C-alpha cells in the first residue's frame, strides 16, 4: 500500500477528484457530470483479454492500472508494450541510459504488482520524445503483437492527450489495427487530457514534465468542463485501487525525489497533486469504440 506521503499528499482521501483547493467545487461538479454522462462497464468488460500500449513507463498504471488488475483477477491475459525507453523525464538530472535502465526495472515491478508476468511485458525502447519519428517501426511491432496475442481489447492513450509521444502512440496503433481483420475493442485512456481546468490549474507550475504542447494548443485546451465529450465509459476500480497505488509506487523515479534531490520533480508536483489525483479515483475513464 502506498503511503500518502509517498504521493506528496495525494492519497485515497482526495483521489476521487475532490480537490481541497479553490477549484474544489467546480471540480466536484465536473466530476459528477462526467460520472453521470458515462456508462459503467459491466463484468463482461473484465472478461476480455487485452493489450495495453504505453508510451512511457507509468502510463499503463496511471491510465488503466485498476482495470488491468480487475482483468487479471478475472483470469484474463493482459500484455503490456512500452514504446519508448522513458529516458527523457529527468534527462537534465541523470544520463538517459541510466534513467532508461531504472524505468525498465520499475515498469517490470509495477506490472508484477498488477499481476502481469514478465513474459507478457514488451519493450520497444524508442528514444523518449521521438516516437513520431519512429512510427512505422512501432506500428509494425504493434502489428506483430496483435497477430500473436490476438487481444479482444487494446488500450491506447487518448487522441487528445496533447503530449507528442501519446498522440503518436494513438495514431500508430490505429494504423496497425486497420491492417487487422479481427474485430477489436479500442479503449482510449486519458493521462494529459486531465491537464485542463477545472480538473487542474493549467497555468500552475512546474510544467517541465509537460513539454511538446504548443502555445496555440495550450490556449485551446486550457479549459474543458465537458470532459464527457471525450470519454464514454467508466470502470469502477474501488476494489483494485490499492493494487494500482502500489504499482504506481513502483515507478520510483516518477513518484519520489531521487537521492532526495529537491530539483527532481515528481508526478505529484504537478499542480500540487491535483493532476495526479484525476488518475487515482474510484473510476477509470475511457473512450471505447469497436474497430471492425
Domain ranges for the chain: 4-291
| CA–CA distance, 121 with 65 (Å, rounded to integer) | 14
**Over the stretch 55-104, which tens digit does the pLDDT of each residue have?**
999 999 999 999 999 999 999 999 999 999 999 999 899 999 999 999 99
Q: Between 30 and 61, whose confidence is greater?
A: 61
H-helix or E-strand containing 45? helix 43-46
Note the pLDDT of residue 107. 98
Whether 34 shows a pLDDT value over 90: the answer reads yes
Task: Please check whether the domain covering 4-291 is classified as CATH 3.40.50.10320.
Answer: yes
CB 288 within 8 A of CB 233: yes
| Per-residue pLDDT reduced to its tens digit, 107-125 | 999 999 999 999 999 999 9
Residue 267 CB partners (closer than 8 Å, separation 6+): 58, 62, 209, 254, 255, 275, 276
Q: Which of 95, 40, 54, 50 is nearest to 71 (CA)?
A: 50
8-32: average pLDDT:
56
The pLDDT assigned to 219 comes to: 52
Q: What is the pLDDT of residue 292?
A: 78
Tell if the pTM clears 0.75, that is, is over it: yes
Please, where are the H alpha helices in 78-162?
96-114, 135-149
Cα separations in angstroms, 59 against 43, 100, 219, 236: 24, 15, 25, 18
pLDDT score for 2: 32
Q: What pLDDT sits at residue 218? A: 54
CA distance 204 to 124: 33
pLDDT of amino acid 210: 45
Strand 153-157, strand 50-54: pairing: parallel
Query: Tell me, what DSSP letter sits at residue 72?
Result: H
Mean pLDDT over 163-191 rounds to: 94
Residue 8's pLDDT band, with cuts at 50, 70 and 90, is: very low
pLDDT value of position 221: 62
Q: Which pLDDT does position 202 carry in this prediction?
A: 72
Residue 5 has pLDDT above 70, yes or no: no
CB 90 within 8 A of CB 253: yes
Residue 245 CB neighbours (<10 A): 25
pLDDT band at residue 222, thresholds of 50, 70 and 90?
A: confident
Residue/partner pairs of 6-11 with CB below 8 Å, 24 or more apart: 6/249, 6/255, 6/256, 7/245, 7/248, 7/249, 7/255, 7/268, 7/273, 7/276, 7/280, 8/266, 8/268, 8/269, 8/273, 8/276, 9/268, 9/272, 9/273, 10/268, 10/273, 10/276, 10/277, 10/280
pLDDT at 223: 77
**Residue 236 predicted with pLDDT over 80:** yes
How confident is the model at residue 6, as a pLDDT? 37
Q: How far apart are CA 149 and CA 242, in angstroms?
A: 28
| Residue 185 or residue 271, greater confidence | 185
Interval 139-153 mean pLDDT: 97
Amino acid at each position: 500500500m502506498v503511503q500518502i506521503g509517498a504521493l506528496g499528499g495525494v492519497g485515497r482521501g482526495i483521489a476521487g477528484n475532490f480537490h481541497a483547493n479553490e477549484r474544489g467545487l467546480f471540480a466536484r461538479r465536473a466530476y459528477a457530470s462526467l460520472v453521470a454522462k458515462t456508462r459503467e462497464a459491466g463484468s463482461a468488460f473484465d472478461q476480455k483479454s487485452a493489450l495495453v500500449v504505453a508510451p512511457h513507463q507509468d502510463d499503463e498504471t496511471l491510465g488503466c492500472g485498476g482495470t488491468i488488475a480487475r482483468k487479471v483477477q478475472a483470469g484474463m491475459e493482459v500484455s503490456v508494450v512500452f514504446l519508448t525507453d522513458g529516458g527523457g523525464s529527468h534527462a537534465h538530472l541523470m544520463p538517459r541510459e541510466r534513467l532508461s535502465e531504472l524505468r525498465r526495472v520499475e515498469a517490470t515491478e509495477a506490472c508484477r504488482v498488477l499481476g502481469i508476468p514478465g513474459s507478457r511485458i514488451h519493450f520497444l525502447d524508442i528514444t523518449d520524445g521521438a516516437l513520431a519519428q519512429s512510427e512505422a517501426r512501432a506500428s509494425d511491432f504493434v502489428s506483430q503483437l496483435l497477430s500473436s496475442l490476438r487481444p479482444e481489447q487494446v488500450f491506447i492513450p487518448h487522441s487528445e492527450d496533447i503530449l507528442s509521444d501519446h498522440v503518436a502512440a494513438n495514431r500508430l496503433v490505429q494504423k496497425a489495427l486497420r491492417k487487422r481483420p479481427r474485430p477489436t475493442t479500442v479503449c482510449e485512456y486519458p493521462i494529459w487530457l486531465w491537464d485542463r481546468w477545472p480538473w487542474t490549474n493549467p497555468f500552475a507550475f512546474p510544467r517541465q514534465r509537460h513539454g511538446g504542447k504548443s502555445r496555440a494548443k495550450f490556449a485551446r485546451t486550457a479549459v474543458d468542463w465537458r470532459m464527457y465529450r471525450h470519454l464514454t465509459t467508466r470502470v469502477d476500480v474501488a476494489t483494485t485501487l490499492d493494487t494500482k497505488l502500489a504499482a504506481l509506487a513502483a515507478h520510483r523515479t516518477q513518484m519520489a525525489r531521487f537521492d532526495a534531490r529537491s530539483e527532481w520533480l515528481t508526478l505529484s508536483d504537478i499542480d500540487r497533486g491535483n493532476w495526479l489525483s484525476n488518475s487515482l479515483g474510484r473510476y477509470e475513464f475511457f473512450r471505447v469504440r469497436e474497430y471492425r
